[in-house]
Structure 1
Amino acid sequence: MSWFGFGYSGFEQLEHGVKLSADLPEPVRLPGNGPAEAKHIIKPVPSWSYSAILIADGSLLLNGFISGSPPKDLMLNDLGCVEVFPTEKYLLVQLKDQLQCWDTKTLSTEGSQAEPMWKMDLPPGHNLSFPLVANGYIIPKPPFLMEFPSKVCAHKLALGNEHAVLLTSNWTVLTWGAGRHGQLGHDELEDVLEPRIVDALNGVGMKEIAAGGWHSASISEGGDIYCWGWNESGQLGLPCRTLTLERGNSGKSHTANEMGDTFEFISIQAFPALIDLPKETEACKISCGSRHTAAVTCSGELYSWGWGKYGQLGHGDTHSQDQPLLVKYFSDNNLFVNDVICRNWNTYVFCLGS
């Protein structure tokens, strides 16, 4: 069982001092670089300039540029950490019975001696999926705690740059926040202040959700992928004019596939669109970065699409893609993909052996 990372590494969060990006998956290891150390990683979560690696004993390793400081490995031992949400200004962690937040500038200067700037106790038996809490959710900036305006039976919550996507306990999708890129899926570009059902998905049971910079995605109980929002880099898996021009095609308002089918270019998709994977493969996990998307299939394959400038798609190049493309590295190495985490310009993938 191993984690692999690829994408932006300009702050040495993937490959210390070697290159700007990693366009092929590379194993994630703790200091020491031995295979035994890698087995203790629960999951890595990237911010832009550093990554937070959650370790099985509840410790947390931060590597990269933390608040603009020179690259370092900062180990926060014996936290009892069970979840982590790193951002450039703040580091949010969930312990068994408490939420804590550190200012990253303080962490960069005081290291493991730094004290949290904010704490919130969790009730006994708390079992909600982070960042959900009773009657609300946590955001990575003050005031940190946000309450739902009305009673919502929340199951999962995904946070984008300016919007939120929520999956209820009866598998309905709600969204709210900024809507100017269509990321709310309400067939309009208006902002929405309170959680609102995505009508186009109502009645279709959903099991997974994801939120990128300005796009959103979900997976139905039947394994179908739906995407909506901004498609500037092909992150929705829909025809993108920018990528067509980069490939040297004409600037027409449409494109055609090998079968001769014609498609209109999409810049903003304001309601959910069904995205097909090759061979009618069923998806089970999905995650969104700033402008890219990755999905895990039930058969253990990884597909990725969208912006690829820093190798975050994992195809061995820096090309962008406006349709799902198999990441061959894992199947070529007999690795069964079990999970994927995309954030900003990076992707982390959890694999089992064949």
Structure 2
Amino acid sequence: MAEERLGSWFGFGFCGFGQEPGSGCRHQVLSPEPLQAGGDIRHVSASWSYTTLVTRGGRVELSGSTSGSAGGCRDAWASEGLLVLLRDSPGSQTELQAWAPSSALCGEPLWAQDPEADGAELGAEAQMVMLPLLPGARAYVSPRPPYRRSLAPELRARQLELGAEHVLLLDAAGQTWTAGPWDTGGRTGAKAAGGTAGPAHGPGGSGGLALETRDLYIWGWNESGQLALPTRSLAEDKRTVTGEGLNQDGSEVERAARAEGGASAPFIAVQPFPALLDLPLGSEAVGASCGSRHTAVVTRTGELYTWGWGKYGQLGHQDSTSLDRPCRVEYFVEKQLQVKTVTCGPWNTYVYAVENRNG
């Protein structure tokens, strides 16, 4: 049996509310830094203003604009409006609890439910309830949280990922399904990358990702280059930078704004359906996550590639540059670390890495 290698968690990007890493005195962490007690962390979930850390001992710790801790936790999901915990309850059962982040996990949760309970009765009850339509909006008011309805019998869920306004679901047959409001951002991508064999991963606020056995599909909004497709905003930024006296003949400006043959460079603001993305050097993706406007991918060899919006250093390239192409994070290569897991917060990135014994 292979020996399990224990690694550490690292963080980079926005930490203006005192989230890990650091003490809150900086807004930008431009290069990966180890989290405090990084070797004891099992899972990280980040919202915009706070971060949730779940330790190997089952304790959840909050840092950032809110603080607090609780024991007996198996997992946690952070959002600005809700903190959800999967927690052990008396009688050796698990309980799903929803908390207001400002509660610091004190008092009583907003609601609690046994996630393994049979939902048939609840589903029948929900179908009989006439839900009021919100004025001026295509949305309904739930009679009581959590409002649950059963999926179609032929659709067996295997994994679920939540974005700000859309959902990705992987079924038992290996197909990826999406749901959410129709909009100009192309977030839902219809039935995404049908026939995928790997999990759907972490849709952020503006896009979605799905992994096939060896292929990576990506779709949604591309305003900051988060889809690794050419975007006008970054081309204009490059034209400004390269035009500051670097070449008097303006050749760099021309290359930034023109494609081969002198034609206007193609720019993609929205990718409404899944597009196949090739990583550099033929690397194979095994894990991925989306932030608000940036993307991170882990390869089979344990390398990390990031791209998109980089204002707060969330790409990990030791600067605040934004990119519309995948770029390897050299920190982990230089430290001879093998990346195993990546999870993106809205404006930051968290990575779990172990020592590379083949390095």
Instruction: Work out which of the residue numbers 228, 234, 247 in structure 1 matches 2:225.
Output: 234
Q: TM-score, normalised by structure 2?
A: 0.80
Please state if 1:28 is matched with 2:35.
Answer: yes
Aligned 1:148-227 pairs, distance under 5 A: 148-151=150-153, 152-180=155-183, 181-186=185-190, 197-198=191-192, 201-222=193-214, 224-227=215-218
Say how many residue pairs are matched.
309
Q: Distance in 1 between matches of 2:281 and 2:355?
A: 23
Where does residue 64 of structure 2 map in the other structure? 64
Q: Is the 8 A contact 2:159 2:199 kept in 1?
A: no
Deviation at 1:262, TM superposition (A): 8.0
Q: Residues 24 and 39 (structure 1 numbering): CA distance in 2 closer, same or farther, change over 3 Å?
A: same
Q: Residues 59 and 262 (structure 1 numbering): CA distance in 2 closer, same or farther, change over 3 Å?
A: same
Displaced runs of 4 or more, over 4 A = 249-255, 259-263
1:265-320, CA deviations, whole angstroms, 9 ceiling, x for partnerless residues? 10000011111111110000000011111000000000001111111111111111
Where does residue 69 of structure 1 map in the other structure? none
Deviation at 1:48, TM superposition (A): 0.8
Please state if 1:310 is matched with 2:297.
Answer: no
Single out whichever of 3-12 and 94-103 deviates more from structure 2: 94-103
Q: Distance in 2 between matches of 1:209 and 1:18?
A: 32
Q: Distance in 1 between matches of 2:96 and 2:304?
A: 32
Quick one: which amino acid aligns to residue 236 of structure 1? L
Deviation at 1:218, TM superposition (A): 1.0
Q: Residues 210 and 44 (structure 1 numbering): CA distance in 2 closer, same or farther, change over 3 Å?
A: closer
Structure index of larger Rg: 2
Deviation at 1:251, TM superposition (A): 9.7
Q: Distance in 2 between matches of 1:270 and 1:41?
A: 37
Where does residue 91 of structure 2 map in the other structure? none
1:207-246, CA deviations, whole angstroms, 9 ceiling, x for partnerless residues? 3433110200111112x11110000000101001101101
* CA-based RMSD: 2.7
Specify every segment of 5 or more residues in structure 1 that has no aligned partner in the other structure, as ranges: 30-36, 67-72, 126-133, 136-140, 187-196
Instruction: Work out which of the residue numbers 102, 126, 144 in structure 2 matches 1:105.
Output: 102
1:166-216, CA deviations, whole angstroms, 9 ceiling, x for partnerless residues? 111111011111231111113xxxxxxxxxx33xx2244343433110200
Q: Distance in 1 between matches of 2:262 and 2:33?
A: 38
Q: Distance in 1 between matches of 2:263 and 2:341?
A: 33
Where does residue 42 of structure 1 map in the other structure? 42
Please state if 1:122 is matched with 2:112.
Answer: no
Q: Distance in 2 between matches of 1:279 and 1:334?
A: 19
Structure having the larger proportion of residues in strand: 1
Where does residue 11 of structure 2 map in the other structure? 5
Q: Is the 8 A contact 1:3 1:43 kept in 2?
A: no
1:97-138, CA deviations, whole angstroms, 9 ceiling, x for partnerless residues? 11001112332xxxx53221210013289xxxxxxxx99xxx
Where does residue 274 of structure 2 map in the other structure? 272
- Aligned residue for 1:39, secondary structure, equals helix
Q: Distance in 1 between matches of 2:263 and 2:156?
A: 42
Where does residue 244 of structure 2 map in the other structure? none
Q: Distance in 2 between matches of 1:314 and 1:42?
A: 21
1:316-336, CA deviations, whole angstroms, 9 ceiling, x for partnerless residues? 111111011000000110000
Q: Residues 252 and 279 (structure 1 numbering): CA distance in 2 closer, same or farther, change over 3 Å?
A: closer
- Aligned residue for 1:312, secondary structure, equals coil
Deviation at 1:148, TM superposition (A): 4.1
Q: Distance in 2 between matches of 1:282 and 1:154?
A: 25
Where does residue 342 of structure 1 map in the other structure? 344
Q: Residues 55 and 203 (structure 1 numbering): CA distance in 2 closer, same or farther, change over 3 Å?
A: closer
1:13-51, CA deviations, whole angstroms, 9 ceiling, x for partnerless residues? 13213211101001111xxxxxxx432111221111111
Q: Residues 103 and 282 (structure 1 numbering): CA distance in 2 closer, same or farther, change over 3 Å?
A: same
Where does residue 18 of structure 1 map in the other structure? 25
Specify every segment of 5 or more residues in structure 2 that has no aligned partner in the other structure, as ranges: 1-6, 89-93, 125-141, 241-252
Q: Is the 8 A contact 1:23 1:315 kept in 2?
A: yes
